[in-house]
Amino acid sequence: MPATKMAEGLNQRQVGLNLFLVGFLILFLELACIRWFSAKVVFLQFFTNVVLLASFLGMSCGCLAARRSTNWLALFPGLVLLTFAAVFLIMAAYSNWGGLAVDVGHQASPQEVFFGTEVRNPDLAQFVVPIEAIAGLFFVLIALMFVGLGQTLGRAFDAYPNRVAGYSLNIGGSLAGIVGFSLLSFAQAPPAVWFLVSFGGIAYLLYQDKGLSIMRLATLVIVLAFTGLYTGVDNSDVHEFRWSPYYAVDLNKSNDEITVNNIGHQAMMPFAERGSSYSLIHLLQKHSGGAPFKDVMVIGAGSGNDLAHALRFGVERIDAVEIDPVIQNIGINRHPDKPYQDPRVVPHLDDGRHFLRTTDRKYDLVIYALVDSLILHSGYANIRLESYLFTEQAFQDVRRVLKQDGIFVMYNYYRQGWIVQRVAEMAKQVFGCDPLVLPLPYKETLTSSETVGFTTIIAGCNPRISTAFRDHGKFWLNSVPPENLAIDGFDKPQDKAPSARGDWVPLAPAKLVVDNEGAKQSTSDDWPFLYVSGRLIPDLTVRSMILLGVLGLGLVYLFKPKGAWRPNSRMFFLGAAFMLLETKAVVQMALLFGSTWLVNSAVFFTALLLILAANLYVIKVPSTRLARHYAGLLLLLAVSVLVPLDTFLSGGIVWRYVIPCALALGPMFFAGVIFARTFRDEANPDQAFGSNIAGSVIGGLAESCSTLLGFRYLLLVAIGFYLLSAWMPSRK
């Protein structure tokens, strides 16, 4: 049928193209911003939902302002320049002024621990900025960046005659956006490529609207050049900077240290010089009378230090599991001992928990090697990449893959005594015997409330090492690894042969003294928050929720239609509830298939496909009755609340994968039908869609309740939102 002339000189086909293009650009730019700002703004990687919610808020405000005369897309170049300039100024101040500190939830005595944030003590700094202030600033700036695209989207919805078909085009664009960004992530493309795609699409929309001036184009080019040149390091000859799907990875070639997202992460250590803690478990095994470990699994193999040490002690096979392809690649090509080149090492690029659940091999030794990810799994849920490694169910998976006398070892800079005690208590419950806790430097007792450094936890019911400690008292470790090879560390210090290099330090199991109730709170697949001190919403999170909520309300008030106006309540609550459905789907799929970026992309892609299928269903069945679909939706959600996640972690393929996927993703189809049917009949689609996206922001803030409720009972909040949406009248 011939295209009909639409508003502002665009015909129906062009408006449909705009719906598709804006869907692509919003999703693509949102993902680019989540990656870039979390890497470039100090400590924002722990709060990437700030960027996600800001993009949703900006899109909502743009839809609400669809009928205003101000063209916010024309303001995009200036706003993006202002936002990126703020990044540079803040990081320049932080990098060059040692008296400036960022307070992230008072890490001296925290309710939630964030690794890497304790480098500067706020109590000793001249000027302290709370992280919530930085988060609030970028929440507003990033939201304003997305207003123009939201306004273009709202105007296109108003101009397109078939609401559901128009929404389907928009969803199609979002599908293309997630596929495009996933391909670039797989190719490890740098930010300049991401923003070239985004700015190119926005320039096209400005050109179409006759708003692409030389000044605006030049501004976009300047920002693009900035993203290509700004790495945050001073000497590019010394530093190799690469983008993995998780981090901005900075390799210092002068000392082989790896920094991710501006936080020190790991260093490649030659066996001949340093890193004796990586040898500790092998030395304890040898000098307590045990045979060398033959089959070893290392989760968090990273750049290869654990592998280099294990290979010195006669292992026959090492399954080296690492989630980040860039860090693994650096280890393969640059580690001075070249452990990855040894034929006994089998590298695996996978999530550690997924590998644990799916391997059929049995091991003498399983190692959790400094598995601290320094980043959230996604912007949808408050879990980190390693969260599902530290749960009771994960420890049960470790026990399943260990041989009868196998040993499970975890070591890290745990920061807080209650974290060490929580991990040790879970190991005791799962393995049935007390683990050994070896703090370095040595502590006779370790309380919940004190800070701790590097700590090794040895679990499993092989009594050999604990017996050796009981008989000898202490084990002595030299800081230079080769010095340990010819000495029995259980000998008394005065009996040792003098060492030409390094220092000897004592190690012995510490007595755990619980003086904090948080140490008694075990973690589970439903509540995987190892670094939160108990079932609570941390004060930092509460302050952030209030701040972001107030800022969000302020922006909505500024952009709301002129005159008397109230949000579309049904669409608002539908948006809030759907955000929580996405959260639940993301965490459940991470548990089933691994916490990798590829699984995330697949979940979002599947969610969009289900929404598209719901749209097509509404088009084909115009007389769709909402009551039936509300009933189906609420029934599936009720089952998900009543049935624990770990119910599906064993059994056949249908029980283990098909049913939990249906429970996680099935509600999205019913929710999509309810949305499409309601949206089809709305008198003002721009306002309805804006209200829906605003609700998504509230749903994102409500996700913070997961640290109090767990993910199962977080669905009760989603059920409440859906009941409210059913109760609210629709507008026609």
Q: Residue 455's beta-bridge partner residues?
A: 412, 439
3-class secondary structure per residue, 63-118: HHCCCCCCCCCCCHHHHHHHHHHHHHHHHHHHHHCCCEEEECCCCCCCCECCCCCC
Tokens (6 digits) for 658:
């098909």
Question: Do β-strands 363-369 and 345-349 pair in parallel, antiparallel, or remain unpaired?
Answer: unpaired
pLDDT of residue 21: 96
pLDDT of residue 564: 66
Hey, which CATH number is domain 266-372+392-520, 3.40.50.300, 3.90.1150.200, 3.40.50.150, 3.50.30.30?
A: 3.40.50.150
- Average pLDDT of every residue of the chain: 90
Spell 76-96 as b/e; 16+ CB within 10 A means b. Answer: bbebbeebbeebeebbeebee
- Segment (H or E) for 697: helix 685-702
Q: Indicate the range of 232-236, 258-262, 508-512 predicted with least confidence.
A: 232-236
pLDDT of residue 32 exceeding 70, the answer is: yes
pLDDT-based confidence at residue 8 (cuts at 50, 70, 90): low
Rounded Cα distance, 508 and 521, in Å? 26
Q: Which residue do the tokens 């106006």 mark?
A: 565
What pLDDT digit, counting tens, does each position of 590-603 carry?
888 888 888 889 99
pLDDT of residue 59 exceeding 80, the answer is: yes
What pLDDT digit, counting tens, does each position of 424-435 carry?
999 999 999 999
Mean of the pLDDT values across residues 464-471?
94
- Segment (H or E) for 39: helix 12-40
pLDDT of residue 461 exceeding 90, the answer is: no
Question: Do β-strands 239-243 and 248-252 pair in parallel, antiparallel, or remain unpaired?
Answer: antiparallel
Give the CA angle between residues 199, 684, 702 to the nearest 5°: 70
Rounded to a whole number, what is the largest CA-CA distance in the chain?
96
pLDDT of residue 188 exceeding 60, the answer is: yes
pLDDT of residue 233 exceeding 70, the answer is: no
Rounded Cα distance, 270 and 502, in Å? 14
Mean of the pLDDT values across residues 103-120?
85
What pLDDT digit, counting tens, does each position of 391-426 carry?
999 999 999 999 999 999 999 999 999 999 999 999
pLDDT of residue 653: 80
pLDDT of residue 234 exceeding 70, the answer is: no
Alpha helices in 292-388 (DSSP H): 305-310, 325-334, 352-358
pLDDT of residue 120 exceeding 90, the answer is: no
Rounded Cα distance, 391 and 91, in Å? 36
> Under a CB-based contact definition with an 8 Å cutoff, are residues 29 and 200 in contact?
no
pLDDT of residue 560 exceeding 80, the answer is: yes
What pLDDT digit, counting tens, does each position of 627-655 carry?
999 999 999 999 999 988 777 767 778 87
pLDDT of residue 634: 95
What pLDDT digit, counting tens, does each position of 539-550 carry?
999 999 999 999
Closest CA to 231 of 362, 91, 370: 91
Tell me whether the CATH fold assigned to 266-372+392-520 matches the one assigned to 566-732. no
pLDDT of residue 492: 66
> Under a CB-based contact definition with an 8 Å cutoff, are residues 453 and 413 in contact?
yes
Question: Do β-strands 239-243 and 345-349 pair in parallel, antiparallel, or remain unpaired?
Answer: unpaired
Question: Do β-strands 402-416 and 363-369 pair in parallel, antiparallel, or remain unpaired?
Answer: parallel
Q: If DSSP codes are grouped into helix, strand and coil, which group holds residue 364? A: strand
> Under a CB-based contact definition with an 8 Å cutoff, are residues 188 and 102 in contact?
no
pLDDT of residue 99: 86
The total number of residues shown for the chain amounts to 732
Task: Give the number of C-alpha atoms closer than 13 A to the C-alpha of residue 425, restricted to the C-beta side.
Answer: 19
> Under a CB-based contact definition with an 8 Å cutoff, are residues 138 and 37 in contact?
yes
Tokens (6 digits) for 368:
């959790």
What's the one-letter identity of residue 398?
Answer: V
- Segment (H or E) for 710: helix 706-727
Tokens (6 digits) for 517:
């109730």
Rounded Cα distance, 461 and 433, in Å? 6
> Under a CB-based contact definition with an 8 Å cutoff, are residues 28 and 180 in contact?
yes
Q: Could you tell me if residue 731 is left (phi over 0), alpha (psi between -120 and 50 degrees) or otherwise beta?
A: beta
Q: Indicate the range of 176-190, 415-429, 618-632 predicted with least confidence.
A: 618-632
What percent of the chain is predicted at pLDDT more than 90?
A: 71
Whether residue 441 is preceded by a cis peptide bond, meaning omega within 30 degrees of 0, is: yes
Closest CA to 418 of 280, 293, 516: 516
pLDDT of residue 4 exceeding 60, the answer is: no
pLDDT of residue 5: 38
Cα torsion through 662, 663, 664, 668, rounded to 10:
80
pLDDT of residue 6: 42
Q: If DSSP codes are grouped into helix, strand and coil, which group holds residue 497? A: coil
Q: What is the pTM of this model?
A: 0.92
Spell 694-730 as b/e; 16+ CB within 10 A means b. Answer: bbbbbbbbbbbbbbbbbbbebbebbbebbebbbebeb
Domain-by-domain residue ranges, the chain?
A: 266-372+392-520, 566-732
> Under a CB-based contact definition with an 8 Å cutoff, are residues 689 and 149 in contact?
no
Mean of the pLDDT values across residues 228-235?
74
pLDDT of residue 574 exceeding 70, the answer is: yes
Tokens (6 digits) for 111:
């309710």
CATH code for the part of the protein at 566-732 = 1.20.1250
What pLDDT digit, counting tens, does each position of 682-712 carry?
888 888 899 999 999 999 999 999 999 999 9
pLDDT of residue 77: 97
pLDDT of residue 493 exceeding 80, the answer is: no
Q: Residue 437's beta-bridge partner residues?
A: 457
Question: Do β-strands 402-416 and 451-459 pair in parallel, antiparallel, or remain unpaired?
Answer: antiparallel
What pLDDT digit, counting tens, does each position of 503-539 carry?
889 999 999 998 877 778 899 999 999 999 999 999 9
